[in-house]
Structure 1
């Protein structure tokens, strides 16, 4: 907007935000890839020696809070700090948090548990300021109606997944070679790189984007009105809330990736390729790898279908069905063990599970974000996007709660139960789809097939 210099036809600020988000996502997913493994590892190996239940309980609480604080962080940015300051402050808090996790026991006279909880707290607070505001600035680079916006979010999304792809491989390799502290240190370095990019290039490449708090800008440009919601708007809000319930079910299953599936990879999967043992954390990179591979393919399918393209509720149902298929692969892994927990299962069960979970994500996550922007009244758009992240928060907490019962229930009831719950939820959503589309009052019809295909790649 204020900066007209372009790269590949887009404002160059897009590529700064792409790189900023890439390194922040690298930092987050590097830490996520090793968190549960670190908690459950024996103290003699540098871990904390926690039980699987305690580790997965904490994982659920942590990832849940990560999705709650953006509601607060978005409000602070909109009303007081502006997006740019919020991103920098949030980035600094997260970098300090990662370095706190990396501190060896007794550093500066601080007990390892104290530095661990302090680090997690800073990561949660920092993420709240960072997460909602980088994406907002991407949108602010373009005037309303600019047809480059969908392509811009596609480019931005690839940065997210490139960071996530690198994270599991790098953090896993470093942790295996030099210990858990080195893995967290790597995550901290990634966050520092993100901050440096913003501090050095932000003013020149972004211009005034994200400087002024949105609420102040809105007061300057529009009359302050408080019109009541119309019947049509209420119907659309009902769609968002109902779809949000299915989002909870999907992510509660999907987020087993960083928890229970991560532990299953470590303890019960044959990770040998010849004489090389694949680090457990590397499997966390399968999801972003499959996203980068499959997102363009799925986008092309939506375009090819044209008028026959499924509605958002039907795509959500597909996402739940794909999740169910993914967990059938995990059921297959457990069956291969035959009740003998000393048996190591094939890693191809995990590859299949992550493949179908990724297909599910592509049918649900980007479609959901797009749906909120289509259905939310403009004056409630930020609040409702925050509420949408709130559904993710609930799901992440539930994911940890479910996984934490593996000790008493076993893996089979959990993997099988999630598969059944996802399949039934998908069927229910198919039955509700026509009514939900009716309540949208034509909102989806406003998007062309090409625009919706681009949205498929924006998570």
Structure 2
């Protein structure tokens, strides 16, 4: 029996092969551990390790960058040598070890490196098993990724609520330990459900195979995607402030008092982003489907430019709130920060999922992994930029800092729109297939 021909009486999960539930739950708990640790990271560095804010932001950005960098090589290792299952097992075990190491201040840097390395093996090896659950041409395949993405955001939503609360209320080591327990749960679910997953495919030979010389169309397509990735680096420099300077502002610039005896834990605000993804994604998808039926299909680059502009606008509004609060020597009401997360996430949904899909659709034949790696590299350099920008947090007024971040996001919007308009004018003549695809 092959992965392309599942048994007629297979167990089902929401109408899909039961193996999807295994991947769903494995990824959900992995995201719980990852985002649980991330929700505490900046607070841990500034409050427990006594790092200066500038250095803490730089460490945060560097760590987040390498989380995007290691999967590029982890996927190659899985394809060529270890195989997907073994890579998931090694990656999950390594990440669990790293999360437990975080409970010890003396192991802080080795723990971050351990988690990033484990993530490199785990992340590409788990998601790539979805395809093997379906026959060729199975119409359920596309919706499988949407269900899987729900698992990602469910774990990201629960993590700050649980790990953040434990870290703030009972001690940082309890929050990190909870993240480690979540990673162990991910590993155990994968081991217990592995019989429902597709069999391992033959691994690619380690020696490179001869490749035809690249023609002009392929080079043009790769250069085009490289240009988009470079612009997305700017956007991520603004977007990735969520777990960095936004987290710091939630602690020092926001009045989180709800009742006389209770304040909202500062890490809980980071659960609003995945919560809004749950709420807004089906609404946006339905809206885009209705527009498509009416013959209105906005080009992908224009959608991405709109999303970057919305994120930029959200930071400009936050800058006004922060400046007004600072001028009066008070903290901003927590509702302003909650509202910012709503607006920012709406913008995010117009650029990040759309961009990932664009890179998948525009990848030339034989360059699929290369183009996805290019998208990961945008995340890598974008997080480095976010860390460098975060170093300005303690040098500028908070209102001025958020205004700067809004300008960075706005610049990416202008560049994406300019690139989209250029494609509309020139690529229709030189490469009509490209214009059709990005639309």
TM-score category (smaller protein): over 0.9
Q: How does 1:353-432 map to 2 (within 5 A)?
A: 353-432=340-419
**Residue of structure 1 in register with 2:319 after alignment:** 331
**Residue of structure 1 in register with 2:163 after alignment:** 171
Choose from 224, 229, 236 the match for 2:214: 229
Is 1:33 matched with 2:39? Answer: yes
Choose from 170, 182, 191 the match for 1:190: 182
Look up the SS of the partner of 1:273 in the other structure. Answer: strand
Task: Return the alpha-carbon distance in structure 2 between the equivalents of residues 277 and 407 of structure 1.
Answer: 25
Once the two structures are overlaid, the 10-residue window that deviates more, 276-285 or 303-312, is 303-312
Question: How far did 1:225 drift?
Answer: 4.9
Task: Return the alpha-carbon distance in structure 2 between the equivalents of residues 350 and 386 of structure 1.
Answer: 33
Question: How far did 1:58 drift?
Answer: 0.3
Task: Return the alpha-carbon distance in structure 2 between the equivalents of residues 88 and 213 of structure 1.
Answer: 18
**Residue of structure 2 in register with 1:106 after alignment:** none
Q: How does 1:17-416 map to 2 (within 5 A)?
A: 17-41=23-47, 47-103=48-104, 112-113=105-106, 115-202=107-194, 204-208=195-199, 211-212=200-201, 214-216=203-205, 225-275=210-260, 276-306=262-292, 307-339=295-327, 342-416=329-403
Contact 1:3 1:206 in 2 (8 A): no
Question: How far did 1:440 drift?
Answer: 6.5
Aligned length: 426
Task: Return the alpha-carbon distance in structure 1 between the equivalents of residues 163 and 39 of structure 2.
Answer: 7
- The Cα offsets for residues 92-138 of structure 1, whole Å up to 9 and x where unpaired, read as 000000000123xxxxxxxx23x111211110100111111212112
Once the two structures are overlaid, the 10-residue window that deviates more, 4-13 or 249-258, is 4-13
Task: Return the alpha-carbon distance in structure 2 between the equivalents of residues 149 and 207 of structure 1.
Answer: 14
TM-score normalized by structure 2? 0.92
Task: Return the alpha-carbon distance in structure 1 between the equivalents of residues 363 and 432 of structure 2.
Answer: 12
Once the two structures are overlaid, the 10-residue window that deviates more, 358-367 or 92-101, is 358-367
Question: How far did 1:427 drift?
Answer: 2.5
TM-score normalized by structure 1? 0.88
**Unpaired runs of at least 5, structure 2:** none
Look up the SS of the partner of 1:406 in the other structure. Answer: coil
**Residue of structure 2 in register with 1:44 after alignment:** none
**Residue of structure 2 in register with 1:442 after alignment:** 433
Task: Return the alpha-carbon distance in structure 2 between the equivalents of residues 252 and 296 of structure 1.
Answer: 27
Q: 1:415 to 1:83 in 2, by over 3 A?
A: same
Task: Return the alpha-carbon distance in structure 1 between the equivalents of residues 204 and 374 of structure 2.
Answer: 18
Task: Return the alpha-carbon distance in structure 1 between the equivalents of residues 300 and 391 of structure 2.
Answer: 32
Once the two structures are overlaid, the 10-residue window that deviates more, 117-126 or 290-299, is 117-126
**Unpaired runs of at least 5, structure 1:** 42-46, 104-111, 453-459
Contact 2:314 2:344 in 1 (8 A): yes
- The Cα offsets for residues 6-34 of structure 1, whole Å up to 9 and x where unpaired, read as 32321111111111100000000000001
Task: Return the alpha-carbon distance in structure 1 between the equivalents of residues 436 and 148 of structure 2.
Answer: 25
Question: How far did 1:443 drift?
Answer: 5.0
Q: CA RMSD in A?
A: 2.1
